[in-house]
Structure 1
Amino acid sequence: MKKFKEFEIPFVGLKQGKHQFDFEIKKKFFDAFEFDEYNNADVKVKLILDKKSNMLELTFENKGSVNVNCDLSNEPYDQKIKGKLHLLVKFGEEYNDENEEILIIPHGEHQINVAQYIYEMIVLSVPSKRVHPGVKDGTLSTEILEKLEEFQPKEEKKNNDGETDPRWDQLKKLLTDK
């Protein structure tokens, strides 16, 4: 975790009460996690650390954008993101992060590294289905979208005399004959 030294928060010297830490997350941060789904990133993270006598409360908030490829057209675009994460840090005999909302660290610890929590919060802020805004409003025109429209299922075709295919009629009868 040496590469995330700037994300280490030394809480021992802090007075009780709320303290704010700000981070700017860029593509280099995700490269360190070997996460390559984002072409670029510009996310601001605000961390409020509320130090109490027997525990710490961490509230993370992120806001910004990540450049991702559209799932339909593969065109890159900036996806706006916003997210929040709340974490309680308690002190115990040994390190335990099994619960996603409570982190237990040994009594002798004097700092906490928040890089993993920032990473998870940002990744979970991005929608699982990423669709370019131009696809939604119809302004994006690419070869891939034209092919998708070409292969889109058409309405049931009628014969020249206006009747449907008799094979389909026989199958539809099976649904109504019970």
Structure 2
Amino acid sequence: MEELKEYTIPFIGLKIGEHRFNFEITNTFFEHFGYDEFEKSNIRLDVLLDKKSTLLDIYLDFSGTVGVHCDITNEPYDQAVSGKYHFVVKFGQEYNDENEDLLILPHGSHEVNIQQYVYESIVLAVPTRRIHPGVGDGTLKSEILEKLEELRPKGSNEDLSGNENTDPRWDELKKLLTDK
């Protein structure tokens, strides 16, 4: 995959110590990876590169929103995402990124590209189950929600909370759990 130059940090001219970089991530970043789950994205990424004599400590800190669709109603909404990620860059004989927290660059390298780490961190920060905030508090009005409410089984709440309609065979089996 072609590297995005704006996410390549040249470290050869930097002094030993901490250096900060800021990025604004939009949908063009995710389109580069062929990821089309987000309608829009507005994420601020702060990168702290701590250069040491033999290695680089890189800290990613991001926050913002991504436009996704609700899993229940398919309504679009802005999902807040935030997270932190830390990885170490060391130098060795050849390039190796098999370990997720350790990147080995060949001796003589003068820059590091962080785009893959940024991409994975943000995508993994999005909840696997996306639910519109209006679903939980009841403010979202949607045809799908109305249809789900119409098709909801009647009397299911009473059966779960009350024990008056339980099968006596189950009651006998429950006694076995407490008898030791």
Aligned counterpart, 1:127: 127
Aligned counterpart, 2:54: 54
Q: 3-state DSSP class of the match of 1:37?
A: coil
Gaps (5+ residues) in structure 1?
157-163
Question: Does residue 14 in structure 1 map to residue 21 in structure 2?
Answer: no
Deviation at 1:177, TM superposition (A): 6.1
Q: Distance in 1 between matches of 2:41 and 2:82?
A: 13
Gaps (5+ residues) in structure 2?
157-163, 174-180
8 Å CA contact retained: 2:3, 2:115: no
Deviation at 1:15, TM superposition (A): 0.8
Within a 5 Å distance, the mapping from 1:60-139 to structure 2 comes to 60-139=60-139
Q: 3-state DSSP class of the match of 1:124?
A: helix
Deviation at 1:2, TM superposition (A): 4.0
Aligned counterpart, 1:175: 170
Q: Percent identity?
A: 52
Q: Amino acid of the residue matched to residue 36 of structure 2?
A: D
Deviation at 1:128, TM superposition (A): 1.1
Q: Distance in 1 between matches of 2:73 and 2:25?
A: 27
Greater CA drift, 125-134 or 52-61: 125-134
8 Å CA contact retained: 2:3, 2:113: no
- Taking structure 2 as the reference length, the TM-score comes to 0.86
Q: Distance in 2 between matches of 1:110 and 1:58?
A: 15
1:84-138, Cα deviation, whole Å (9 max, x unpaired): 0001111111111121111111112111111111111111111111110110110
Q: Distance in 1 between matches of 2:68 and 2:6?
A: 26
Q: Amino acid of the residue matched to residue 65 of structure 1?
A: T
8 Å CA contact retained: 1:3, 1:32: no
Q: Distance in 1 between matches of 2:70 and 2:27?
A: 18
Aligned counterpart, 2:29: 29
Q: 3-state DSSP class of the match of 1:95?
A: coil
8 Å CA contact retained: 1:46, 1:61: yes
Q: Distance in 1 between matches of 2:170 and 2:22?
A: 63
Q: Distance in 2 between matches of 1:154 and 1:93?
A: 67
Deviation at 1:175, TM superposition (A): 3.1
- Taking structure 1 as the reference length, the TM-score comes to 0.87
Q: Distance in 2 between matches of 1:173 and 1:66?
A: 51
1:139-161, Cα deviation, whole Å (9 max, x unpaired): 001010111111222216xxxxx
Aligned counterpart, 2:148: 148
Deviation at 1:36, TM superposition (A): 0.6
Q: 3-state DSSP class of the match of 2:4?
A: helix
Q: Distance in 1 between matches of 2:44 and 2:21?
A: 11
8 Å CA contact retained: 2:65, 2:80: yes
Cα-Cα RMSD: 1.7
